[in-house]
Amino acid sequence: MALRFRGLAPKKFIAATMASEASSPVWKKRSVVSSFLFDLGSCPGEAEGTTTRKTRVALFQRSSQVSTYQHHLAPISGTIEETDPSPLQAALREIKEETTLASPAIELMRRGKPYTFRDDEIHREWTVHPFAFRLRSPEDAGLITIDWEHEAWDWYDPDTAVQEPDAGGSLGSALGGVVKGVPRLADSLRRVWFDTDLGNKAGGILARGLDKLATDQESGARDLASKAVETLRDVIQALDYTISSPKDIVDESEWWWIRVRMAAWHLVKNGRESMGAAILSAIIATLAEIEPMFHNEANQGLEHLRIAGVACVKRCLNTRHLNGTGHIDLAFREYLNTNFSHKRGPGKNLTVLTLSSSSTIRDGLLSAHLDGNPSRYNLDIRVLESRPLFEGVSMAGTLAELLAHSPHADDTPPKITIFSDASAALAAEGVDLVLIGADRIAASGAVSNKTGTLPAVLSARFVTNGSAKVVVVSDTDKIAMPGETKDHVVEDNDPAQLSHAWKDERNSARVQEAAAELEEVRAAVGGGGGGDGKNRPEVVIRNVFFEWCPPQLIDTYITEKGEMGVDGIRGISDKISRDEDKYFRDL
């Protein structure tokens, strides 16, 4: 690829920086991002007029004006500044500064496991956060305009770049000749491009599994976790044993265990991060099943490890299926009998408010209605519809069907009322119990659940003068490692899921026209990215799926281990952190 642009650097600043570093040979620690840009679309084939689907990765030749690794090939790299909210935001900032690319031209493909290494020659300790971004279309490559930090760039085969023999790799330069890559270039790349280590078949299975997890907006956290374990099973089955291990790993069975754990790490971090706690718990339980087999039978060969590894994963899946939610159902009934026994019997109702679609809550309500006691609970169930995907409607429909065919259908029938999300305060009148599920439970006891949870809880607290109990019903699998709630992912989804309803023909002409105008303004400014010089306003449509409910608003947590308080949550969170460190720390 021809050289596109060369700018000027603040040379005096760079010279002063280099002089300072030369006179002070102390070790300096830097946390940096290394972002690889991938083109997954059609590329020119060898024969004229043909195309191929070969993946390409962009590498950039550093200029003479940077302070380190001049003229080396590298991804888009830069220091994580104190003002950067996260490494991901630092990566996006550096990409925009050094290539002008930004959303929607690029999107996050996956992140790699961070690692630390030392460069003795320049007395630097680097902590590298690798990322992979993909172009939305091959044509977006034409938008790349490099700044003064680079003198050229070109596309490369990622498998070739990963397999280069020396520390940085030696590859062809866009300026001609062969140049070295920056130190640990191959290590950074293989952390986001796993096909080279797993093999094309296993790598493809993992990539497709990650995409399915990321785009599945129907399955709950428990089901997604099971799907992640199923993907790990298929990856183990498909691992390519002809791929040699890196030179620092001499034992082929150890290489097998490393690849299994790295695939597991990607399923946790690059699947559905908002439900990552459940996926992590399921994956950790699976690795705990595989580990003793590996240590006891590693010397029996790779094919034996394949067969035995798959068998271990199958046992974990069977255990998850058999356990189901039965223990939670029992704990839920015990909680009701302890706190709401006065609500049993003819002429009495237990009034429950819930939202979204939780199989755990659904099964708990069914269990309460069918508990076999002649003086059973008569349920008045109120469900918020849960826009924009109406999961609450789905759960209400399932409940109605199951209750209609229950053995007690001829008794006083349960009542199910569906409310719009905006009428949470009306739905909360007279409720005894607010049941909420969980997609993630923080170590503090805060619960991440479908947006609408916090208004429902606050409404019930206010309308009932605090008499309504707020109960989280969840597997302990949903408990996350220690960390602040602000550090957990915010899942902002496709605005069209909201806006399509505004254009419905049953709406007034005024609403339909307003929807069209909003769409036009957003398109004119690049989807809400800012003005275009014509005084158009910035229009942003937020479609956030999950929100946090603080522990101060929650009375108790019902789990498969029974009723639990915040101290119990914290203990499980600490254990998960230790287990995560055990299996992933040395990758």
Contact 115, 187 (CB under 8 A): yes
In this structure, is the dihedral angle defined by the CA atoms of residues 381, 382, 388 and 393, taken in order, positive or negative? Answer: positive
The answer for residues whose C-beta is within 8 angstroms of residue 136's C-beta and 6 or more apart is 104, 105, 106, 107
**Planar angle of CA 551, 552, 553, nearest 5 degrees:** 90
Residue 363 domain flag: yes
pTM for this prediction: 0.80
Do 373 and 416 lie in a common domain? Answer: yes
CATH number reported for the structural domain that contains residue 96 in this entry = 3.90.79.10
For residues 41 and 155, membership in a common domain is answered with: yes
Is residue 146 a part of any domain in this protein? Answer: yes
Question: Closest by alpha carbon to 377, among 400, 402, 411?
Answer: 411
Mark whether 252 and 378 lie in a shared domain: no
> What pLDDT does residue 50 have?
43
Residue 498 within any structural domain of the chain: no
Looking at 287, 304, 323, the residue that finishes a domain is 323
**How much is the average pLDDT of 488-501?**
78
Residues 32 and 179 in one domain: yes
Domain boundary among 323, 344, 378: 323
Domain CATH for 453: 3.40.50.10470
Check pLDDT > 90 for residue 227: yes
Give mean pLDDT, residues 22-39: 84
Is 100 contained in some domain?
Answer: yes
CATH number at residue 284: 1.20.120
**Do 164 and 92 share a domain, yes or no?**
yes
Range of the domain at 473: 326-481+547-570
Query: How many whole angstroms separate alpha carbon 201 and alpha carbon 234?
Result: 10
* Residue 532 token pair: 């275009």
Q: Which two tokens stand for residue 462?
A: 């206010």
Q: 263 or 409: which carries more pLDDT confidence?
A: 263
Q: What is the mean pLDDT of the chain?
A: 85
- For residues 136 and 553, which has the higher predicted lDDT (pLDDT)? 553
Range scoring the smallest mean pLDDT among 20-24, 231-235, 241-245, 502-506: 20-24
- Provide the pLDDT for residue 174: 65
Same domain, 344 and 466: yes
- How many independent structural domains does the chain possess? 3
Q: Summarize pLDDT for 96-151 with one digit per residue, the tens.
A: 999 999 888 899 999 999 999 999 888 899 999 999 999 988 888 888 999 999 99
Q: How far, in Å, CA of 252 to CA of 242, rounded?
A: 10
Q: Is residue 576 part of a domain?
A: no
For residues 302 and 380, membership in a common domain is answered with no
pLDDT reading at 464 higher than 90? yes
Q: Are residues 302 and 428 in the same domain?
A: no
Q: Does 281 reside within a domain?
A: yes
510 within some domain? no
d(CA 435, CA 447) in angstroms, rounded, equals 12
Residue with tokens 């409607």: 393
The alpha-helical segments, DSSP class H, found in 136-216 are 158-162, 185-190, 195-198, 200-215
End residue of a domain, out of 139, 174, 190: 190
Q: Output the CA torsion 544→546→549→554 (10° steps).
A: 150
Check whether 489 has a pLDDT greater than 70: no
